[in-house]
Chains A and B, each alone.
With several copies, the nearest count.
Chain A
Amino acid sequence: MDIHEYQARERFRAAGIPVPPGRVVTTPKEAELAAEEYGGTVVIKAQVHSGGRGKAGGVRLAEDAAEARRYTSQILGMDINGFPVEKVLVTPAEDIDTEAYVGVLVDRKAQAATFVVSAEGGVDIEEVARTSPNSIRKLSIDPRYGMLPHQAYWLANFLYDPPKLVSQASKIITQLYDAFVGSGASMAEINPLITTPAGEVKAIDAKMSIDDSELFRRPDVAKMRDTSSEPLSETRAREAGLSYVKLDGDVGCCVNGAGLAMATMDLVKHYGGEPANFLDIGGSSNPDKVVAALEIITSDSNVKVILFNIFGGITRCDDVANGIIEAIKHIDVELPIVIRLTGTNEDLALQILEDAGLSACTSMDEVVEKAVELAGVA
């Protein structure tokens, strides 16, 4: 789960990281008031779950309150990489001497939280790592010991020479690790970490993603979810316990298992179609889940055909077939439905489906080709 910059700032600040003050507002008037209160130049920053806000015009420097109001009215309602801007952050502009990058994420290979720091800030760190690997320093944190003082120092010392800056940065790096672990994060980033002419080190940007599996035990973090920043269908899928990602195509996919769901999407594309979504209904034959899945798929007006691809493993195919039939009874679907069911008791299942007037088969290729064809016709 992504959280907004202003929310990540709160987590960072609670961990002790020096973060300039800021106010989240939803109207130009509020932005004006905030700018007046801070005095001087402020930064107006779109709060969306997307990188590249600056390039998209979602970050502006406002020299006075009137400008703050004007820019805010321009930014609010903007669409940044598909995300509508509904909130902006107003924060005093800082005098910047240098910009650095400090980030931590769960590294799969190291199987540990891993820091990456670079004396070049405000950059795409992945790009920096690729083009000038010597300008980053990387360190994995042993989960048995946590962040050790000399490790924070070693990272900080890669960014700065003056002992005062190094010691501030060590502290911030340790606090960032605390915020990361304490929030159940999978990624946390300060980009840029600045130094001011007065010799202070500060975080003027904040980014954090939370491990979804942590949310059950972190209600304070879970309530940071901003459902307004995602399609309604995804919110509903999550509430129904389904894995769903909306895409732009017209073949609605309903599959059991994440790998098979991806493979089904790929095959739709292979046969010249475009998948409308990723959807994993999980391993059960429970009609309620199928009902929820059908409601979600059909709420996408692009969808022209519904494709079921079910591999009956432990769950028997006849049970699944009955589940689908019962689900369809509860919801008024006008779109064509094609179903592939294979595995244990598949013959029985196909009979049940055909008896109910549904198009069914056992080959994945066959059902996908049929779905793509129906989408093209519709």
Chain B
Amino acid sequence: MAIFIDSDTKVVVQGITGRDGSFHTREMMAYGTRVVAGVTPGKGSQNFEGPNECTVPIFNGMDEAVSETGANTSVVYVPPAFAAGAILEAAEAGVELIVAITEGVPVLDMARAHAFARDRGVRVLGPNCPGLISPGKSKVGILPGQIVAEGPIGVVSRSGTLTYEAVFQLTTAGLGQTTCVGIGGDPLIGTNFISCLEAFEEDPETAAVVMIGEIGGTDEQEAAAYVKETMSKPVVGFIAGRTAPPGRRMGHAGAIISGSSGTAEEKIRVFEENGISVAIRPADIVGLLQGALA
């Protein structure tokens, strides 16, 4: 088992002919993801050449891509100016999951796009996220397939490379993963910590969860309350940004301490108050997890 994606996931790549889209499509296909279609307006009826002489049909629009191939998931690599539009298109075309990789999408565009997706019961992951991977089954997004391994740990994170860091340590220590999810570093994201925790709690193969947060917002705090109230599985946490100054955006659009709220101290305190062991160094995650699973 895994959450959100597995070996049945049929993916359409929005922006498949772009630089990032084409590169990561090949990476996904090489990993074994079932990429069934690509969309680039104006390039319909061409084919995308994947690895191992596999080809993927390209469509002008999501509507056709979904109806012709039965895709149930899309991944968005289109530039920021068009990304919200691509999400709206995917939501209308009827996929179940939209993974929005694009960074720099205007926040008010996303407010509308999230509302549109909610209206239709479609899950959006991101934007500004690395996507997700269910080791051995499927990867959708840009997470490096070679650092993961199958196993019982669920990983959810607002960050990209920090997640790789943590996952690589888990894999090296023999702790494989059910699914690793990057929820994205933007202020308005479609899938938050709680959604992922719910899914991990319900996933019978997940034994424990690593939750990697950062400064900005209150998503971690709400997730912590959820962990205490609802979760039976152990959760180990990490929060990046203890040294971040207030009021400055630390790379991610969402990583900013506004006024006195959203500090790392606050998040760490709330984690601990709700029974989540907090790793002070990334290197401590493995140890805490082994302790929790022992």
Contact = CB atoms under 8 A, between A and B. Distances in A.
A pairs with B: yes
Contacts of B168: 311, 342-343
A108 B188 contact: yes
Contacts of A342: 165, 168
Interface in A169-215: 181, 184, 186, 211-214
A126 interface: yes
A358 interface: no
Interface residues of A, number: 61
B136 interface: no
B111 A278 contact: no
B164 interface: yes
Q: What size tier do the contact residues of chain B reach? A: 35 or more
Most buried by B among A154, A181, A247: A154
B269 interface: no
Given A262-B244, A266-B242, A314-B144, A150 B115 contact: no
B85 interface: yes
Contact of B255 (A163, A216, A262): A262
Interface stretch (B2-10, B55-63, B200-208): B55-63
A265 B61 contact: no
B39 to A, nearest CB: 9
A280 interface: yes
B190 to A, nearest CB: 9
Nearest to B158: A259
Interface string B116-153: 10000000000000000000000000111011000000
B287 to A, nearest CB: 13
Interface in A300-331: 311, 313-314
A257 interface: yes
Contacts of B251: 243, 257-259, 261-262, 278, 280
Contacts of B187: 106, 108, 186
Contact of B144 (A144, A181, A313): A313
A145 B159 contact: no
B111 A113 contact: yes
A351 interface: no
Contact of A314 (B27, B158, B162, B280): B27
B111 A259 contact: no
B89 interface: yes
Most buried by B among A166, A214, A260: A260
Interface of B: 23-24, 27, 41-44, 60-63, 80-82, 85-86, 88-89, 92, 104-108, 110-112, 114-116, 142-144, 146-147, 157-165, 168, 185, 187-188, 212, 214-215, 217-219, 222, 238, 240-245, 248-255, 259-261, 264, 280-283
